[in-house]
Amino acid sequence: MYTPAEIASQPVSKRYRIERHLGAGGMGAVFAATDRLTGQRVALKRLTTTADQLIFASISTEQDSQVSLAHEFRTLASLRHPHIVGVLDYGFDEQHQPFFTMQLLEDAQTILQAGRGQPQSVKIDLLAQMLRALSYLHRRGILHRDLKPDNVLVTDGQVKLLDFGLSVLREQAVSGITGTITYMAPEVLRGQAASIAADLYAVGVMAFELFTERYPFAADSTEQLVQHILLTPPDLFSVGLEPRLILILDRLLAKDPHERYADAGEVIAALEGVAGKRLALETMEIRESFLQAARFVGREAELAQLNAALMDALESRGSAWLIGGESGIGKSRLLDEVRTQALVKGMLVLRGQAVSDGGSPYHLWRDVIRRLLLEIPPTPADTGALKALVPDIETLLEMPVPEVPSLGRQEEQSRLLAMIARLFRQRPANSQPILLLLEDLHWAGDESLSLLRLIVQVVSQSDGDMPLLIVASYRNDERADLPEKLPGMKILRLERLPADSIAELSTSMLGTSGERPEVLTLLERETEGNVFFIVEVVRALAEEAGQLNHIGSATLPQHVFAGGVQQIIQRRLARVPTDALPLLEYAAVLGREIDFAALIAIEPDADWENWLAVCVDAAILSVQDGRYYFAHDKLREGLLDRISSVRKNVLHTSAALGLEFAYEADTQQYSALARHWGEAGDLEKQEHYAALAGEHALAVSAFQEGRKHYTLALRLATDDELSEDSLRRQAKYSYLLGEMFFWLGEFRQAHEYYERGLSIAEE
């Protein structure tokens, strides 16, 4: 076992700067750290226990324990609740040891410390908060397994449950973590598997301590303590508790797990009788753990090809792959599976995503380059040239960035592209191989595709000396020409699932109910093998039947919805509570990724933590790499479709004001601001930001982007009321459009715009 000092001295990830040791346990050590990408302070837990020594909260069919652990981290990272400290990021370091990061709780107390000396009403409230969090976990098939006061912290009156989902094997727990034994259920000590009842026993022990301010058993040794836990009923009648509370504790601390409460919700209901008031518990039936974690089926051949390419990349034989398919066909899930395999192999995973509108030049590469810069520090000259693309590069690298001499426009573009390609090519010896994931290329701008072409060319010409695997995705029904624009990338086309794969997916979600012929016939007819539609139809059927395993026990409808797919999407959106919808509409207008800085600027007093929990609970939002997104583009599109034009004007105005306040003079936001002010009907501000977006595009030599923005600015200036100022703006934009066309090599159009600008200026 490593000491905390040894763990801290070993590299975890250049993304995190470890600051101090916070504590240690049976699985590893916890440190306070700073996330250099976000500036956020986090708690980083580095596991020293090997993956095959861990028990996972969810059932896995994987034979490889490290792959199982990666899947488990992914599940835990998807959980969000106001009373849970969620997993933000996870991975495997250079020594293939796992780590994960969580929210850092400053100056937190244990639930026992927070309740000491408090009135009974406060203690009941703390207990109810813990039970709500536990109910949330249990509904998703997650057992805590290690409930104890150190894992139930309180900050500002809010209970936060942590360290759930993973535990070491029981033999190691008994021999190595005496503190955990004090909260271990009798049946677990006897060798039975952990269960909901075992978690509730631990709740009972803490509840006893909370209300009596002492532990239920007195023991001089571990052996004596174990005997008390197994055989001795706690004394509940000499501690001054009211009868109704005694009954609750007696049931929680029952030696027989079958005599305890069935779930955390029952305990909360019982506590209401003691509190004399309602103790709210989320009542929405949650099936997402089954639906979102459905087996990965029907893509075995494609995954095998990509896994082979991944193994080649580990041997420095890089390659580039382009995955095409319609929306909802399973492209993102395939990329997630490849990502999991790459993390297990100790690869550095970089991820970029194009956006449908309002993205700045090279938006696809923004997160990729920021993360890569932490791994491969650039030369001082390179940092200066990259500043236009990464405005916060000085903060990110914690060093001053010099100005670089200006070159001709074409030379600057070539320098920028070559510099980024060099970051991938000239990597330090013994550095991690890279998996580069690029999503939604159908929305990528020409400048982003130009950079991708260059890097693909570097990979194809590397002659076995390039530990880089590129996997990109696009909608082939929206951008059929993309493979031609990206020569050198191997094409994988995902088709809809055949009948046998639909049956396998159905069974993974529904159990034996999913094998029924009438269920399979309905799924085939209604979805035609689109994975997104299959999951949504099953979700809708489950809501009608009451439970997943009741689907098919009654007569199934001929059609799930008369309105087809759109009605399915609207039904999912209807699961969101009414008071959460306005904030969700703001988020949808801003983009697929949830922009918290802008949202907080729009609604600074909103309960964002609770809103997130509600939206994740309803499967509208999901979390990936510590960031929140709409779970699928179709959900965001469906939400936008049902907003009235008048309401959209209001939303876009608020979005624009939020971006202005949150990002001030951030050049990356100019394109989005032009879009929002345009949708809001403020043409003057739309023109202003379109011109600024064009100026920024010119600065980073993104001439196609610049042409688009200056064309918009010119149209708006031309449509404006004729004046000396509007003519001056028209002349300026015409000249700059001429510049854009010139650097694009379109000289006839360049000449026309130069002439137009000169003509207007001479009027």
Predicted local confidence at residue 178, as pLDDT: 34
Kindly report the length of the chain: 763
Task: Please determine, for residue 77, whether its predicted confidence score (pLDDT) is greater than 80.
Answer: no
Q: Name every residue whose Cβ is closer than 8 Å to that of residue 306 and which is 6 or more positions away in sequence.
A: 321, 334, 338, 469, 471, 492
User: Does residue 285 sit within a domain?
Assistant: no
Query: 576 to each of 488, 583, 595, 652, how far by Cα in Å?
Result: 44, 11, 19, 21
Q: Where are the alpha helices (DSSP H) in 78-195?
A: 111-115, 120-139, 170-176, 178-181, 186-189
Contact indicator for 456, 490 with CB cutoff of 8 Å: no
The stretch 695-714 carries a mean pLDDT of: 90
Question: Are 63 and 155 members of one domain?
Answer: no
Predicted local confidence at residue 59, as pLDDT: 41
The stretch 622-640 carries a mean pLDDT of: 84
Task: Please determine, for residue 369, whether its predicted confidence score (pLDDT) is greater than 60.
Answer: yes
Question: Are 256 and 360 members of one domain?
Answer: no
The stretch 340-365 carries a mean pLDDT of: 85
Q: How many domains does the chain have?
A: 4
Identify the residue with better confidence: 677 or 400. Answer: 677
Question: Are 268 and 311 members of one domain?
Answer: no
User: Does residue 501 sit within a domain?
Assistant: no
Kindly report which listed range (535-539, 632-636, 715-719) carries the lowest average pLDDT score. 535-539
Predicted local confidence at residue 168, as pLDDT: 38
Predicted local confidence at residue 176, as pLDDT: 36
User: Does residue 55 sit within a domain?
Assistant: yes
User: Does residue 634 sit within a domain?
Assistant: no
Q: Which DSSP category does 740 fall into? A: H
Task: Please determine, for residue 282, whether its predicted confidence score (pLDDT) is greater than 70.
Answer: no
Predicted local confidence at residue 103, as pLDDT: 85
Question: Are 95 and 130 members of one domain?
Answer: no
**What is the spatial distance between Cα 508 and Cα 486, in angstroms, rounded to a whole number?**
37
Contact indicator for 252, 203 with CB cutoff of 8 Å: yes
Query: 354 to each of 79, 357, 365, 587, how far by Cα in Å?
Result: 25, 9, 8, 17
The half-sphere exposure of 595 on its side-chain side, counting CA atoms within 13 A, is: 23
CATH number for 688: 1.25.40.10
Question: Are 195 and 321 members of one domain?
Answer: no
Q: What is the Cα gyration radius of the chain? A: 29
Kindly report which listed range (201-210, 519-528, 554-563) carries the lowest average pLDDT score. 554-563
**What is the spatial distance between Cα 442 and Cα 457, in angstroms, rounded to a whole number?**
20
The pTM (predicted TM-score) of the whole model is 0.76
Burial class (CB in 10 A: 0-12, 13-18, 19+), 762: exposed
Question: Are 314 and 451 members of one domain?
Answer: yes
Question: Are 65 and 185 members of one domain?
Answer: no
The stretch 727-746 carries a mean pLDDT of: 91
> For residue range 19-48, what is the model confidence (pLDDT) as tens digits?
888 887 656 788 999 998 888 899 898 877
> For residue range 146-180, what is the model confidence (pLDDT) as tens digits?
899 999 999 988 899 987 655 433 333 333 333 47
Task: Please determine, for residue 293, whether its predicted confidence score (pLDDT) is greater than 60.
Answer: no
Task: Please determine, for residue 54, whether its predicted confidence score (pLDDT) is greater than 90.
Answer: no
Burial class (CB in 10 A: 0-12, 13-18, 19+), 192: middle
Task: Please give the structure tokens belonging to residue 89.
Answer: 């990021």
For residue 62, the tally of other CB atoms under 10 A from its CB is: 14
Widest pairwise Cα distance in the chain: 100
Query: How does residue 461 score in pLDDT terms, banded at 50, 70 and 90?
Result: confident
366: phi > 0 → left, psi -120 to 50 → alpha, else beta; which?
alpha
Question: Are 253 and 304 members of one domain?
Answer: no
**Reading across the β-sheet that carries 98-103, which strands appear in turn?**
16-24, 28-35, 41-47, 98-103, 87-92
Domain boundary among 224, 241, 275: 275
User: Does residue 41 sit within a domain?
Assistant: yes
Predicted local confidence at residue 713, as pLDDT: 94
Query: How does residue 3 score in pLDDT terms, banded at 50, 70 and 90?
Result: low
Query: 550 to each of 63, 511, 592, how far by Cα in Å?
Result: 31, 10, 34
**How does the average pLDDT of the chain come out, rounded?**
83
> For residue range 469-506, what is the model confidence (pLDDT) as tens digits?
999 999 988 888 999 999 999 999 998 888 888 888 88
Identify the residue with better confidence: 376 or 204. Answer: 204
Predicted local confidence at residue 470, as pLDDT: 96
Question: Are 322 and 414 members of one domain?
Answer: yes
Q: Which DSSP category does 333 fall into? A: H
Task: Please give the structure tokens belonging to residue 38.
Answer: 């976000």
CATH number for 419: 3.40.50.300
CATH number for 44: 3.30.200.20
Structural domain boundaries enclosing 721:
672-763
User: Does residue 288 sit within a domain?
Assistant: no
User: Does residue 264 sit within a domain?
Assistant: yes
**What is the spatial distance between Cα 160 and Cα 82, in angstroms, rounded to a whole number?**
8
User: Does residue 538 sit within a domain?
Assistant: no
Domain boundary among 73, 103, 133: 103
Most confident of 60-69, 446-455, 674-683: 674-683
Q: Percentage of the chain surpassing pLDDT 70?
A: 85
Question: Are 383 and 234 members of one domain?
Answer: no
Question: Are 335 and 398 members of one domain?
Answer: yes
Cα–chain center distance at 386: 27
Q: Percentage of the chain surpassing pLDDT 90?
A: 36
Query: 660 to each of 130, 302, 650, 689, how far by Cα in Å?
Result: 39, 44, 16, 11
Question: Are 317 and 259 members of one domain?
Answer: no
Domain boundary among 71, 103, 135: 103
